[in-house]
Structure 1
C-alpha cells in the first residue's frame, strides 16, 4: 500500500520532511497557516537556507509529488498519515516549552478525521504530551477510534537536514499502549520508512514517554559534552594550558570520542538551548527536578563563553570599546545555516555594540535574519568589508570562507592586527606569521588573564 502523506507545519522541520518524503516517492501535501510561506514554498522558494534542500523541493514540485495548502479540510481528506511538525518555542520569561502550535494543529485536524489514519508527532515536546494529545484525538475525531497517534521524534542537524532525513542514524517510534493500535501504527511507519529500513537504519519501537524523552535526552547529552570542554577551557585559561591539545588528547579515548568536543564560543540555535531548558522545566513538574540540576550549570557555562569572548576582545583594546571598531565574522549560530536564534555570534556582537563599540558583521548566509534580529548593528558585504578599519576582528562562526581567509589580505584593510578566534578554527602560527596578534578561547594568552 502506498500511503499519502501530509505535513502540518512547514518551518525548518516540516519543509525538510515534506520535500524529502516526496523525493522517496510519496505523494505529499504540506500545510501551514502562514499564507506567504505557503506561496513561497509552492513557488520553489525556500524561506531559509539549508544545503541541498531547495533542489529537492523544486524537483518534487515539478514532478507533482509535492503540493502545499492552507486548508486543514484538504489535508484531512488527502492524507493517510499526518506528520505534525510545528514549532515548540520557549515560553517568554519561562524555561517551559510553548505547546500552543501543537495544540492548535491537533485540535484543528482531529475533528476533520472522518476515516482511518495515523497522526504522527515529530515536534519536540515535553514528556507526557503525546498521551494527552492521543486522548484528545480519540475524543474529537469522528473516525470511530481509527485515528491513531504515534510519536516519531526528529534528529535533524542544521546543515545536514537532507542527509539526516534520507539516511537517519535511527528511527524511533512511540506507539499507544493498546495492542491493536500499536501494531497498526508500527506497521504503517515501517511501510513509510521502508527505504531507510532496507538500508539498515535501526527501527526502535517504544512507548509514548520514552519516544518523547529520546530527543531531549540526546540534546541534553550533546549540550553537556560541549559545555564540558568549554568548562575545561576556563580551567586552561587560568592555568595557561591549551584546550585544543586537551581536546585532542581526550578524543583518542574511545569512551569519550572527539565529536562535540570542540572548544569555543558554545552552542546556540533553535534546539539545544530551549530544549534543555524545557527539559528542566518538565522534570520540575514531574517532581524529578534534582535529576537535571546539572543542566543549569551546562546552560550557564555556555553563556559564560560569550561573556569571556567580549571580555577578551575588550582587553585587547585596552579595556574599552568606546571609539573602537570591531569586525565580526559570523552571525549564524553554526556554519551551513542562516539560523540566528540564540546565536552566540550575534549575542557577542550586540553586547559589544551596547558597550560602545562600532560593530560591523558579515555572514555568508544569515545577513537577512541578522539584520532583522539586530537592526542597530552595521553589516558588511564581505569579510573584508566587515573588517575594514577594525581595531579587532572576531571570528564567531566557523564558515569555511573564514577558516580559509588569507591573513595578509585581511591585514591590508584593518586598523590593527588583532584577531580573536572564538571557534579555534584558525591556524595560530599562520596568522602570527602574518603579523597578527592572535588570541583564542581556552588557549594561552600571555598577559591576558
Structure 2
C-alpha cells in the first residue's frame, strides 16, 4: 500500500511558521541589524539561565555582521520545529573575523549556545526566538553523537527553505555556494579526454579553449560557459583537477586530487565548516588507504595541514585565526585515478606545471620556517641591531622601532 505521507523536507517546512509569517511582513528584514544596539542583549539577560539552549543551526540568512539560523532536530525521527536563532559576528569563536560572509555561506551548519528573547508589547516583528551567545563550527565529538542521516535531513530542509524563500524578504540574504549540476562529471570527463587526445598532461590554454568551443554536446557547452572569460573561470575553480600557469594548463597529481576530495568530504559531513585540529585528528586516525602523495601533501602536523588548506583558497577558506576552515566551493568528482592509469601508464604524478607550482610552495614553506628559527635564535641571544639584519633578509617585512617591542 502506497504511503500518503509527504516527503521529510515538506514535513519540515510545514513547521516553518516564521517563514510564512514573514511573507505577510512589509518591513525589510535585516536579521539583527534592525534592532537598536544593546536591545536584544538586555532582553536576553532578562530571560535567565533556565532558557539557555544548545544545538546545531542551519544558516538561512547572512549579512556582514549578523545571521539567522534554523535550529535542527538532533534525534532520529524528531519532529522539526520552526525555531530560529539570531547571531552576531561578535559571538563567533574566531575573534579576528570581520565579515561573516567571508567565512560562511547559507546552507552550512554551526554549533551554538543561545538564550531566549523576551518580546516586549508592541515590539516590531523579530524572526528569531533565540539569540546566540556563542557560535562555533561543529565539533567532531558532537558530530559522532548525531544520527547518520543528520546532514541529509539538513540538506533537504535547506532545499525546501530556498524554494519557499524565493519570493519574499529572505531571498536577499541567501548567500550560498553555487551548486554543481548533474552535468559536472560529464564536463570534467570531456575535458580530461582533451588531454588524452594529445597524450599529454599539459597543453596550452589556446588548445583547451578551442576544444571547449567546438564541443558538440550543447548541454556541456552551456554548462561551462559560452564565452572565454566564463570558461577560464570554470577551469580555475576546478583546481583539484587542473593547474593553470602562463599560457598552459596541466593536470594535478592524484595525491592532490585525493587530498582535496578527502578534506571536502569531511567538511561536508560536518555541515561545511570544522575546527582544523579536529580535521587533523580525523585525518590521522580515520582516513585509511591514502596514497603516499596524499599524506605528503597533507603533512604530519596540524600546522602543515593548515598551510595545505591556506594554499587552496578557491576550495577552502581558512579563518583569520587559522583555527577553523570552511568549504569555499563544491568539488566535482570524476574517475581521475582510472584516467591517469589508463592514459599515462599508471603514472599518477602531476604535470610539469603542477610539479613546479608544488615545489615553489614547498620552498616558500621551508624558507618561512628557516626565517622563523633565525628570528627566535637572534631575538633570544643577540642585540636589537643584529635582529634587524635578520629581518631584512626577508622582503616586505615592516621594521618596528625599538620602543615598539621593548
User: TM-score of the superposition, structure 1-length normalised?
Assistant: 0.29
User: TM-score of the superposition, structure 2-length normalised?
Assistant: 0.31
